[in-house]
Amino acid sequence: MLVLDPVGLKPLVCCCIFITGAQEQELQVLQPKEPVSVAKGLTVTLNCTATSNDLPGPVKWFKGAGPQRKEIYNFRGGSNPRIKAVVPSSNTDFSINISNITPEDTGTYYCVKFKKGNPDTEFKSGGGTMLSVRAKPSQPLVSGPQGRINVGQVENFTCKAHGFSPKKIELKWLKNNNDITTNLPKIFPENNSVSYNVTSTTQVKLEANDVHSKIICEVDHETLETPLQGKMNLSSIIRVLPKVNIYRDLLPMNLANVTCEVKKFFPNIVDISWLENGTERDKIKNHNATENNDGTYSFNASFQVNMSLVKEAKEITCVVTHDSQTSITSFSLTLFFPAYTKHLLPVIPANFFISAQQPQNIFIAVSIVSIVLVALLIATIYLIRAKQKKGKCEFHFLFSSSKSRNI
């Protein structure tokens, strides 16, 4: 029939077209419907199979759909070193491996069959495979005040972690493993993204016993086996101002010892200066302070006065400078040192102390003043006894105001 009728070539052509059309209808590009999730840094396999490959034309992989889609692999020659064909020589298996996965790889991937032409045209696409990347959050970073803060103040502390996916994350604050009530953390960006960041702020009141305390930010995420913690030692920012107790002791050889007892301070930075009538006589630096159980420090400084040499009022001043702070307040205490007697110095009440509530220098002034001569007292007693012998019961008692009365 084809030989007898040259025109019969047309039916033959029609027959060929019919066969090709049947092949096109039978060819299917198959991708699993289930989404794929993989941890950052690992390798993922995206599966794709074709029911046949009788139709000439390449197979390509794309990330995304529509005009903005991006070609990531062509089986005729891929250029991305991270992407390899699972079975390079197969005519029906067009699966690929993507290595060293990053959060930026998150998206939907399409396996597409093209029909050969000039140019090639898209023939059939798979349904797409959604790839999500699980990324661990970074180590939480806790930040707080830049300088030292006095106890009693309330300060802000901030915690940040970034680079995690999926979006859901838990964050909580602790102080020495005790929960701190705070507002919900902020996760951004708010819209869908390949990775997310979290930030949170809490307020903490600093206490005198916080030298050994820690502020902890703890984050938990589905990618973690155990929560991550960021920490800040309060010893790096806290300042505990000293309490000062003043006392004196009488020593042999007519000496008096005046002591400044500087207690419960932190950090261990205290300078002591002794002044005599405003002139510096001694300075103590790099002293060996004693560390207390709560992490604070205590230190005693002493100054000796030779009472036998005191012939006029003398001011002895103990200057305490803590952590290089500027003087804000001062306190003076006056004691009397008899110049010509071995009587004890006046007693300072045991509960006398100065509690520094501001960064300060603490001034302890000790004034040395002469009192009534012993000879005058002896003469007065002798006079009284002499008058008593004469039957007269009269004596004079001297007051500090120089007034007298008869009894």
Q: Are residues 272 and 330 in the same domain?
A: yes
Which residues touch 67 (CB under 8 Å, ≥6 apart)? none
In the listed set 220, 238, 256, which residue is the last one of a domain according to the structure?
Answer: 238
Whole-angstrom distance, CA of residue 333 vs CA of residue 364 = 6
Q: For residue 32, say if its preceding peptide bond is cis, omega within 30 degrees of 0.
A: no
The helix/strand/coil state of 252 is: coil
pLDDT tens per residue across span 153-212: 999 999 999 999 999 999 999 999 899 988 899 999 999 899 999 999 999 999 999 999
Q: Is 84 within the bounds of a domain? A: yes
User: Per mean pLDDT, which range of 2-16, 90-104, 187-201, 236-250 is the poorest?
Assistant: 2-16
- Residues in Cβ contact with 97 at an 8 Å cutoff, skipping those fewer than 6 apart: 43, 44, 45, 46, 83, 84, 85, 86
Sign of CA dihedral 230, 266, 210, 203: negative
Which of the listed residues 198, 221, 238 is the one where a domain comes to its end? 238
Total domain count, the chain: 4
CA nearest 169: which of 143, 204, 195?
195
Contacts of residue 208, Cβ cutoff 8 Å, sequence gap at least 6: 151, 240, 264, 294, 296
* Token reading at 92: 């029906």
What domain range is 229 assigned to? Answer: 141-238
Token pair recorded at residue 23: 């092949």
The secondary structure of residue 383, as a DSSP letter, is H
Tokens 């220098």 correspond to 361
3-state secondary structure of 395: coil
Q: For residue 364, give the amino acid letter.
A: I
Both tokens of 281, joined, read 């006589």
Distances (CA, A) of 202 to 24, 64, 168, 188, 335: 64, 41, 20, 18, 49
**CA terminus-to-terminus distance, the chain:** 168
pLDDT, average across residues 25-40: 91
Give 406: exposed, middle or buried? Use CB within 10 Å, 0-12, 13-18, 19+: exposed
pLDDT at 173: 98
Instruction: Judge if 156 and 115 occupy the same domain.
Output: no
Residue 370: partners with Cβ closer than 8 Å, 6 or more residues away: 310, 311, 312, 338, 339, 340
Question: What burial class does residue 395 get, using C-beta atoms within 10 Å of its C-beta: 0-12 exposed, 13-18 middle, 19+ buried?
Answer: middle
Same domain, 277 and 294: yes
What gap in Å lies between CA 149 and CA 164, rounded to an integer?
A: 34
Taking the complete model, does pTM exceed 0.75, yes or no? Answer: no
Question: Within this chain, do residues 246 and 234 fall inside the same structural domain, yes or no?
Answer: no
Q: Answer yes or no: do 338 and 281 share one domain.
A: yes
Range in 195-199, 251-255, 300-304, 351-355 with the lowest mean pLDDT: 351-355
| DSSP collapsed to 3 states, 308-334 | HHCCCCCEEEEEEEECCCCCCCCCCCC
Taking only the tens place, the pLDDT of each residue in 219-258 is 999 999 999 999 999 999 999 998 887 777 888 888 888 8
> Are 124 and 22 part of one and the same domain?
yes
- Rounded to whole angstroms, the Cα distance separating 213 from 175 reads 7
Structural domain includes residue 135: no
**What does residue 14 show for φ and ψ, rounded to 5 degrees?**
-60, -35
Do residues 61 and 180 share a domain? no
Within 8 A by CB and 6+ apart from 109, the residues are 46, 61, 62, 63, 72, 128, 129, 131
- Where among 186, 206, 238 does a domain terminate? 238
Report pLDDT digits (tens) over 363-379.
Answer: 333 333 333 344 556 65
Q: Are residues 268 and 232 in the same domain?
A: no
Whether residue 363 sits in one domain with residue 245: yes
Q: Same domain for 148 and 212?
A: yes
Residue 204: give its domain's CATH number: 2.60.40.10
The CA distance from 211 to 269, in Å, is 14
Q: Say what the pLDDT of residue 261 is.
A: 87
Residue 91 lies in a domain: yes
